[in-house]
A and B are shown apart, each in its own frame.
Chain A
Amino acid sequence: MTSVKTKSNIFSVLGTRHLTNSTYIVRIERNGMEFEAGQYISLGLPGTTDKREYSIYSGMHEDYLEVLVKEIDDGVVSKQLKLLQPGAKTAMDGPFGFFTLETEQRSGGRLVFIASGTGIAPFHSFIKSYPSLDYRLIHGVKYGDEAYESQNYDPARYMLCSSRDSRGNYRGRVSGYLGENPPDPDADYYLCGNSNMIHDVYDILKENGVDGGRIHAEVYF
């Protein structure tokens, strides 16, 4: 059972890293907030009514919080956050969510993390927080430059599926990769990203005999 302290506060921005034209990482103060890897926070600007939920990208042992943000064309918050300079204030609420690892999964269980786009954020937090995880990370993107900070993952455990260019380890969608490389029915699967990817992968996993209890999903909207 996840149990964390919830805070609702104004936190300062420490910095921003731009990974592509539309994707960036915002680092904000942590101020001692407790969370479990895989949880998310609700973030926006103080005094406004708009907030959005973002998975925490940073690890549990770091003294700051990071979120990975994709700027949405007709979005509000993702555009506001992109412009923030160090020292600017954010309104943060959280942490929330149950997309976390149980003790047995953290200590030796075989784990397969499957992400699309910025859905890689909670997996980055898992891997930073629990360095000895036995994991495979399959990351689906359109173009190879969306392999966000892939140097942070063990190359032997990381598989980039790039659907619109050949810069990935596999050319095509995650579902195509899994179709050609049948999944292990005894592993635990964590899926995070857009709902189409999650639905496709869910069907593939079920067809390959993976028990529903071993499939954990967090949909990004």
Chain B
Amino acid sequence: MLIRSSNSSFDHAVTSEITPREVFESRRSLLQNMALGAAGLSLAGWAARDARAQMKGPGVLPALAAVPSSVPGAQTMDKPTAYKDATSYNNFYEFGTDKSDPARYAHTLKTTPWTVEVEGLVKKPGRYGLEDLMKWGAMEERIYRLRCVEGWSMVIPWIGYPLAELIKRVEPQGNAKFVEFITLADEKTMPGVRGGSLDWPYVEGLRMDEAMHPLTLLAFGMYGEVLPKQNGAPLRLVVPWKYGFKSAKSLVKIRFVDKKPTSSWTKAAQQEYGFYSNVNPLVDHPRWSQATERRIGEDGLLAKKRKTLMFNGYEPQVGQLYAGMDLKKNY
């Protein structure tokens, strides 16, 4: 039998549940706003059809299934860049220094079979095949802004899984402080490697906490399909809060080290390209301003360039990684 106390017919409200007087009094406009909001949402959905259409490739490359990522920051509302622009305007010096070179010459890249060597201060080193690597995490779709150090930007729907998944699986040793990424340098298939504009192979690096950050993506695809060759097939790094060159393409080696690796661009021009290379409108490149950027496909000929955001707009997610650091010195 249920015994009711005299008190139980009335549950005392918790203070947080009491509707503030001004909200109670403005409930009519609140309801109006909600109705408008609902209409707005459905309109937004209608408007997003265009955006969704923008997020599909032309269907020439194999499709790569993925679910939309729920990681904070992984779904920017910015309009994705047209696939054509994202695949015809690339910096991939292994195929030439002109931005139209990769689309023109990358077809020679041989992506099967492909292996990635994991080595260095790690408990499970080895040479892993692409097919295995693709199973090491659940494929997510993430819409990231991409800011090039040259002052232009795009919005790309990537497909991949957090690099942290791979790192956890290969179990770095306690003294591993940095991760070094080495990309393919094949003279036979990459005309730019014969040219020698940089010291090949291309090397990039991240601090361990940067590499483990949930936004750091190991990408295998974009626009619903596997990566096109000019965009770094078959797998690449995507670090959305850093200038684009940090996101190394066509990875062949991941090395865990205790000392800060020297990136290829740092080696080429130390005073211009630092290890961190975080997107930062307040720290100019020695040769040009980083305060603004041109969004490819959107900021037309006569439009003013848009303001560049701190950490490319990912400050809420990654700002704490650099707390207390002098970002002018650690550029």
A and B bound?
Answer: no
